[in-house]
C-alpha cells in the first residue's frame, strides 16, 4: 500500500555491514527494505553493498523503491557500494552521518556492530537534547538490542539520563512489523513545532 502520510517520505536505516552476520538478519534486512518500497518510503542508507546494509538496499531496489546511499570515499573498497542505486560520495564519516540525518524523516535500526552503535547513540543523544523528534524503530530479533536498552535504563536509574528518553524509540521483534510500526508512530506525531531537522549551532 502506498504511503498516505503527508509527513513521512524517507527512512534512514542503521545496520551492520558484515557478511558474517547471522543469515536470518540478512534475510530480514532484505524483507524490511522491500517493505519500505511497498509503503512508498525512500530508503536512505550507508551506501554499502555488503551485510545487512546491502541486503536492505537490494530489497528496496528490487521492489521498485527509491534508494539513496551515502558513503565516505575511503570506505568504497571495504563496503563495496551498490552501484544500481543513487550513491553520494562524501569525504568523512561526519558528513555521511549528517547527510543521512538531513535526508531522512525517520530511522530504523537493525542489528549491527560498533559502527551502528555509534550512529544510534548519537541519534539518541540528539533526541535527548530536543534537536529532533523523528520516529526511531528498532528491529530487535531475539532480543538483540536488549543489552543496549538495559544500559540506557541503568543510566536513567542512576539519574544520569532523563526518564523521558526511554520513550524515544519503539521496538519490534519481527521484520514484517517494522514498517507498520513506523507508519503508525508517524501518524500519531503532533508535528506542530516539532524540530524535524538538526538545529545548526551557528
199 domain-assigned: no
pLDDT at 82 > cutoff 90: no
47 domain-assigned: yes
pLDDT in tens, 17-55: 999 999 999 999 999 999 999 999 999 999 999 999 999
pLDDT of residue 154: 98
**23 vs 79, residue with greater confidence:** 23
The answer to whether 144 and 120 have CB atoms below 8 angstroms apart is no
123 domain-assigned: yes
200 domain-assigned: no
The C-alpha atoms of residue 202 and residue 177 are separated, in whole angstroms, by 39
pLDDT of residue 193: 44
Residue 25 C-alpha from the chain's centroid = 15
194 domain-assigned: no
CATH number of 172's domain: 3.40.50.450
pLDDT in tens, 170-191: 999 999 999 999 999 887 764 4
81 domain-assigned: yes
Q: Is 126 helix (H, G, I), strand (E, B) or coil?
A: helix
Tell which residue, 19, 20, 43, 46, has the closest CA to residue 31: 43
39 domain-assigned: yes
Beta strands across the sheet bearing 42-45: 86-90, 67-72, 42-45, 10-14, 106-109, 136-139, 170-172
Average pLDDT, the chain: 90
Tell which residue, 14, 188, 34, has the closest CA to residue 104: 14
Task: Say how many domains are in the chain.
Answer: 1
pLDDT in tens, 101-146: 999 999 999 999 999 999 999 999 999 999 999 999 999 999 999 9
Q: Hey, what's the cell of 133?
A: 523528534
Query: Across residues 84-109, what is the average pLDDT?
Result: 95
Contacts of 183 (CB under 8 A, 6+ apart): 3, 5, 8, 39
- Boundaries of domain holding 181: 10-186
pLDDT of residue 83: 85
148 domain-assigned: yes
Amino acid at each position: 500500500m502506498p504511503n498516505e502520510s503527508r509527513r513521512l517520505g524517507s527512512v534512514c536505516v542503521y545496520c551492520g555491514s558484515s557478511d558474517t552476520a547471522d543469515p536470518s538478519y540478512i534475510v530480514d534486512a532484505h524483507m524490511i527494505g522491500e517493505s519500505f518500497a511497498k509503503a512508498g518510503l525512500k530508503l536512505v542508507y550507508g551506501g554499502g553493498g555488503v551485510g545487512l546494509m546491502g541486503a536492505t538496499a537490494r530489497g528496496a531496489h528490487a521492489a521498485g523503491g527509491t534508494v539513496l546511499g551515502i558513503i565516505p570515499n575511503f570506505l568504497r573498497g571495504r563496503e563495496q557500494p551498490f552501484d544500481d542505486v543513487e550513491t553520494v560520495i562524501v569525504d568523512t564519516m561526519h558528513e555521511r552521518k549528517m547527510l543521512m540525518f538531513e535526508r531522512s524523516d525517520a530511522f530504523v535500526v537493525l542489528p549491527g556492530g560498533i559502527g551502528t552503535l555509534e550512529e544510534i547513540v548519537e541519534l539518541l543523544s540528539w533526541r535527548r537534547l530536543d534537536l529532533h523528534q523523528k520516529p526511531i524503530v528498532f528491529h530487535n530479533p531475539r532480543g538483540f538490542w536488549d543489552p543496549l536498552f538495559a544500559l540506557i535504563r541503568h543510566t536513567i536509574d542512576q539519574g544520569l539520563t532523563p526518564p523521558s528518553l526511554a520513550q524515544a524509540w519503539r521496538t519490534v521483534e519481527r521484520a514484517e512489523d517494522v514498517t507498520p510500526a513506523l507508519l503508525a508512530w508517524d501518524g500519531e506525531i503532533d508535528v506542530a513545532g516539532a524540530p524535524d531537522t538538526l538545529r545548526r549551532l551557528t
